[in-house]
Amino acid sequence: MRLGSRISTVWSRRRAGAVLAGLALVLAGGAAVAVAPSGQAPAAASGSWSARTAGGMTTQLYVPSTAPTLGAGRALMVSLHGCVQTSANLRDGGNWAATAEARGMVVAVPAAPNGGVLLGCWDYYDSNHSRTSPGRHDDNLLQLVDDLLADPALDIDPDQVYLSGLSSGGGETMVMGCLAPDVFAGIGINAGPTVGTTAAQIGSVAVTQSQATSTCRTFAGSASAGFDSQLTSVIYGSNDTTVAPGYNTLNAQVMAGIYGAGSQSDFSLSGLAGNNTAGSGTLWSDGSGPRVSLIQNTGMGHNWPAGGGPGAAYVTTNSIDYPAYVTDFFFDNNRRVDRSTDPTDPTDPPTEEPTDPPTEPGLYCGAATNAEHEAAGRAHSFGSDPFNPFYANVSEDYMGQGDATVTRLQESSGGRFDVVTTC
């Protein structure tokens, strides 16, 4: 049964009143929208937008003209609008096309079914979402992914399915990240309340980290193993007066705790793309690299941070280019994609190594900065300093983050480099 036939029976007058109370706050935040002058052209792109029905929703779909840059097919980014915003707003002003072209990525911007719970809101509310019997927009989004994966013309890699959203779309993004961590390799939460909250609780943090963590784990149920390789990005503005800023830090902490990402560090926004890179960044990592990113963009209100393009309702260009940032963060740190650059041919007979292989003169062993290793052809990286992860060539040993990090590498036959403690 689709949502349209459920709203009248499931939503009581009391709950509708709570939704209206929350939406009053959303509407009050409308004055904070920052839109670029109408003469500012969006970034050039040679792909195209089209509308199609997927997951029972009218969905704006961008298909790039470029080839995918990672994995066995194209990545898919599903992007959810906020309350009092439309999928057309996000399509026209969200600045997705340029990043989609750069990465060969498909972007899907669905409209909340039947106009949303009310005024376009996604149904992220409360703690009774279920994977075994999904509803409340959850089933629509899961079916959307299935429908697009089933289209061979799109060539979507199931290991590169991502979800992002603003406000109620951000809240629904976290719900889906918890409900289906096996489906979504990365979630991007923009000014979204946390799981288990009501529409009337957006103005102040109403749950604890342990409560939100328990709700998220309960949503996942038997799919919890998907958390082992999932990523989370959270972003919000310092001038957001609609959704309590504390929810953003809470969401990042909840997901970092679930992932077991206990190493916390700061990074600068100064090198990021966009028209406003003021603010701060926090990164949570585990032993294999980054897992959770949190950005506070100074001066931004309750808006989608496009960082470029023409802007639109609840879309600001006075921000970092979040489409570029979140896509790079997911691509650079995706744990589900096979990154091997030299696959073996299964038809080749195995080779036997001699018992005592001869040593080769002139093989490297030494300590240097990650940037120096990369410049010398001993390592490679993804992203930009200071949060870019480095990997040793061939062995793919993790070398930590940042250009200035010092790592000791040892070379062996065939151009292989391994991270070692001594030479």
What pLDDT, on a 0 to 100 scale, did the predictor assign at position 183? 97
Fold of 39-333: Rossmann fold (3.40.50)
Please state, as a whole number, how many other Cβ atoms lie within 10 Å of the Cβ of residue 182: 20
At residue 421, what are phi and psi to the nearest 5 degrees? -95, -30
Which of the residues 164, 167, 168, 381 is marked catalytic? 167
Q: What DSSP assignment string belongs to 141-174?
A: HHHHHHHHHT-TTT-EEEEEEEEEEETHHHHHHH
Q: Which residues share a beta bridge with 165?
A: 80, 189
What pLDDT, on a 0 to 100 scale, did the predictor assign at position 406? 85
Distance CA 390, CA 411 (A): 16
Check if 79 is active-site.
no
pTM score, two decimals? Answer: 0.73
Domain ranges for the chain: 39-333, 365-419
What pLDDT, on a 0 to 100 scale, did the predictor assign at position 250? 98
Angstrom distances, CA of residue 83 to CA of 29, 328, 401: 11, 27, 37
Which long-range contacts does 126-129 make (Cβ < 8 Å, 24+ apart)? 126/196, 126/197, 126/198, 127/195, 127/196, 127/215, 127/218, 129/175, 129/179, 129/195, 129/219
Place of tokens 């260009």: 317
pLDDT along the chain (423 residues), means of 10: 32 38 39 33 66 94 96 96 94 97 97 89 91 84 96 96 97 97 98 94 95 96 96 98 96 98 96 96 96 98 96 96 98 92 37 41 85 88 77 84 85 86 81
Residues in CB range of 15: below 8 A, 6 or more apart = 125, 198, 199
Residue type, 168: S
Distance CA 51, CA 122 (A): 20
